[in-house]
Amino acid sequence: MPGKKLSLEEKESLYILKMTELQVRWQNPIPDDWEPQYENEQQLDKMLDDVIGQLKFEKALSAVRCAIKIPIFLFIILGIVGLLVFGIRQLL
């Protein structure tokens, strides 16, 4: 994380926060008393970078899914409305 140096405690709390956010996004919450397991600060840095990268990926994937679902949904709705209008015009 360039720009700001964090203390070990701040890194741990940030890791717990981001991992909890990721697990909630996966609909698999982890216990509140959970603690990260690491051997040294470099390993914690790598774990933190991995979690932040995974969160960015999950958020981008969510946006892409939404961008695909909305046009398909609109196409289906407009198709149904068009068929209804066509059917009503044929009846009259």
Q: According to the model, what pLDDT value does residue 80 have?
A: 96
Q: Is it the case that residue 2 has pLDDT exceeding 70?
A: no
pTM comes to 0.73
Residue 19 burial by Cβ neighbours in a 10 Å radius (0-12, 13-18, 19+) = buried
DSSP secondary structure string for all residues of the chain = -TT----HHHHHHHHHHHHHHHHHHTT----TT-----SSHHHHHHHHHHHHHHHHHHHHHHHHHHHHHHHHHHHHHHHHHHHHHHHHHHH-
Over the stretch 10-55, which tens digit does the pLDDT of each residue have?
A: 999 899 889 989 998 988 877 777 788 888 989 999 999 999 999 9
